[in-house]
Structure 1
Amino acid sequence: MINKLICTLVAATFTFGAHAQRSDGSTKSLVKAEEEFAASAAKDGVKSAFNAYSANDALVFRPNPVNAKTFYATQPDDKNLTWAPDYARVSRSGDWGFTSGGYTLDGETKTYGQYLSVWKANNGKWELVIDLGTTNHKPLHAAAPQFIEPKDYFKPKFGNAKQRAAEKDIIITTEKTLNATLKSYGVAAYGGFLNHDARVVFPGYEPVIGKDKIIAFYNSMVSKMSLRTVNADKSTGGDLAYTYGVAAIDYKTDLRESFNYVFIYERQADYSWNLIQQIYTPAER
């Protein structure tokens, strides 16, 4: 009887795990996976949740990029981190997407911030592949959720490593062009690379939303900026891509700081690539 009960419990646990993180190519399924991830952290602890939801090669920026499972192997299993997505998108190929929103860390004092997570679908379930966050003051305004579903579905039937490498090079070249333009024209260069509804998450500030507001934000404090791309990836649907790397920022106050960043790009109708989300977190030298 005891053995039968144990088998029943194991089977129930396995069944629950099979449904958790399930991907059907929709943004709704990704948001559900993110919410399950946050609920798991609250119930079982942050370490357990990241180990359960992260891909084996996932990177977390704490503050510099490190393998998620390696990092959390030495961390306590705290239950003091809560978060919720308020912006999410998934590629038309359904193979990867991203979520972002606010988080709260309870300690001696409460810490507030914003996060960005990149997810990939693997064997029918969502796995976390990149996660980073940055702190800001207590939000003054609640963000209105914006979960955008893919406009259609497209995934090439055929593809090889050479083609994927070529697609990745397109994104890296785009960011090299952005960097060269930043050197020539300063932060005004972002005017040619930002979507009208782009978002920027920068330490100490609530998300800045909208092309004009972002350019005004950069102009208010940044003198120069340079980017060093470390890696990039592009969805097989060809509509979304991300990069991560290190940004050196010279402020107008004669101060320089280095930041790790993740940028999300969207392909436009003319096949150019525009930024739709940027997040920076201080880098550790």
Structure 2
Amino acid sequence: MAATFTLGASAQHTDGTTKSLVKAEEEFAAAAAKDGIKSAFNDYSAKGALVFRPNPVDAKTFYANQPNDKNLSWAPDYARVSRSGDWGFTSGGYTVDGETKAYGEYLSVWKAINGKWQLVLDLGAEHHKPLNPVATHFVEPKDYFKPKFGGPKQAAAGKDIILTTEKTLNMTLKSYGIAAYGGFLNPDARVVFPGYEPVIGKDKIIAFYNSMVDKMSLRTVGADKAAGGDLAYTYGVATIDYRTDLRESFNYVFIYERQPDFNWNLIQQIYVPAER
């Protein structure tokens, strides 16, 4: 994917900080309110960016055929940027102000392209009007690191590491059921699932999964790893067998963080219903 992204017109300058990414997100939201959703996504999305509506589709192609509404508002409450400053993600609540208001949570992945933040992945899961406020949590990179001799081979090797991690997660899910997540979740991990407000914290996530999920399997479609080696993301299709003997498919995006022991833990997961 990374090779297909090119600079858009209005993306915010990046200095490698989470602060600059949050500012880009806020300007993106302001542009949507002022100029319309279609115009904002066209200006802030990279070439080749994917939006999940609900299945993944090219952002510029999708919004070319959409009305330029001004009824969508959102604000980030969680954001991280890789220590290499080449990509980061934002997450938070959104509101659609129509005849009846709709609410939900979104996740956006951004990449730094020619010194500007560009949107490369975006999806959101709807839920009821939020009852529980989410504390703002913007995490700055702990330092700056980018390999001096990184190239296509190193990037491909990094991607393979993440694909192998998710393959291991999927195999563990098949062997041990939903309890497998106990070995892959950070203590402060977050889950966004349709119909529910964000579930924050490893213990709460495990309890949430156990309350409704019998089995889960993952089919990874894409992945990328930051040059700094600390953050990565995957996306694909999750098939969930509920305890009520129902099965449903979801598009997902998972964010991983490398730990001091070099294992990769999940720090954010989001699911949106997939159309067959």
> Same-fold call, TM > 0.5?
yes
CA distance in structure 2 between the partners assigned to 1:51 and 1:19 by the alignment: 9
Q: Secondary structure at the match of 1:88?
A: strand
Q: Secondary structure at the match of 1:43?
A: helix
Aligned counterpart, 2:203 = 212
What does 1:89-104 align with in structure 2 at a 5 Å threshold? 89-104=80-95
Aligned counterpart, 1:75 = 66
CA distance in structure 2 between the partners assigned to 1:98 and 1:76 by the alignment: 26
After alignment, is 213-222 or 17-26 more displaced? Answer: 17-26
Is 1:129 the counterpart of 2:120 in the alignment? yes
Identity within the alignment, %: 83
The correspondence for 2:44, drawn from 28, 50, 53, is: 53
CA distance in structure 2 between the partners assigned to 1:19 and 1:207 by the alignment: 30
Aligned counterpart, 1:231 = 222
> What residue ranges of structure 2 are gaps of 5+ in the alignment?
1-7
Aligned length: 269
Q: Secondary structure at the match of 1:141?
A: coil
Alpha-carbon deviation of 1:19? 8.1
CA distance in structure 1 between the partners assigned to 2:145 and 2:231 by the alignment: 12
CA distance in structure 1 between the partners assigned to 2:162 and 2:68 by the alignment: 37
Aligned counterpart, 2:4 = none
CA distance in structure 1 between the partners assigned to 2:9 and 2:215 by the alignment: 48
Aligned counterpart, 2:34 = 43
CA distance in structure 1 between the partners assigned to 2:134 and 2:15 by the alignment: 26
Aligned counterpart, 1:256 = 247
> What residue ranges of structure 1 are gaps of 5+ in the alignment?
1-16
Alpha-carbon deviation of 1:142? 1.7
Aligned counterpart, 2:157 = 166
Q: Contact 2:9–2:44 at 8 Å: present in 1 too?
A: no
CA distance in structure 1 between the partners assigned to 2:9 and 2:236 by the alignment: 34
Alpha-carbon deviation of 1:195? 0.2
What does 1:182-197 align with in structure 2 at a 5 Å threshold? 182-197=173-188
Alpha-carbon deviation of 1:20? 5.1
Q: Could you tell me the TM-score, scaled by structure 1's length?
A: 0.93
CA distance in structure 2 between the partners assigned to 1:120 and 1:157 by the alignment: 19
Q: Contact 2:10–2:43 at 8 Å: present in 1 too?
A: no
Segments ≥4 residues shifted beyond 2 Å? 17-20
CA distance in structure 2 between the partners assigned to 1:241 and 1:141 by the alignment: 28
Q: How big is each residue's C-alpha offset from its partner over 1:160-184, in whole Å with a ceiling of 9 and x where there is no partner?
A: 2111111100000000000000000
Q: How big is each residue's C-alpha offset from its partner over 1:163-218, in whole Å with a ceiling of 9 and x where there is no partner?
A: 11111000000000000000000000000000000000000000000000000000
Q: Secondary structure at the match of 1:238?
A: coil
The correspondence for 1:240, drawn from 231, 238, 247, is: 231
Q: Secondary structure at the match of 1:248?
A: strand
CA distance in structure 1 between the partners assigned to 2:273 and 2:57 by the alignment: 14
Which residue identity is paired with 1:55?
A: A
Q: What RMSD in Å do the two structures reach over aligned CA positions? A: 1.0
Which residue identity is paired with 2:159?
A: K
Q: Secondary structure at the match of 1:28?
A: helix
Aligned counterpart, 1:10 = none
Alpha-carbon deviation of 1:18? 8.2
Q: Could you tell me the TM-score, scaled by structure 2's length?
A: 0.96
What does 1:173-184 align with in structure 2 at a 5 Å threshold? 173-184=164-175
The correspondence for 1:30, drawn from 1, 17, 21, is: 21
Is 1:144 the counterpart of 2:128 in the alignment? no
Q: How big is each residue's C-alpha offset from its partner over 1:131-157, in whole Å with a ceiling of 9 and x where there is no partner?
A: 000100000022111000000100011
C-alpha spacing 1:160/1:217, structure 2 compared with 1 (3 Å): same
Aligned counterpart, 2:268 = 277
Aligned counterpart, 1:12 = none
Is 1:266 the counterpart of 2:257 in the alignment? yes
- The structure with the larger Rg is 1
CA distance in structure 2 between the partners assigned to 1:125 and 1:19 by the alignment: 9
Q: Which has the higher helix share?
A: 1
Is 1:118 the counterpart of 2:109 in the alignment? yes
Q: How big is each residue's C-alpha offset from its partner over 1:207-264, in whole Å with a ceiling of 9 and x where there is no partner?
A: 0000000000000000000000001000000000000000000000000000000000
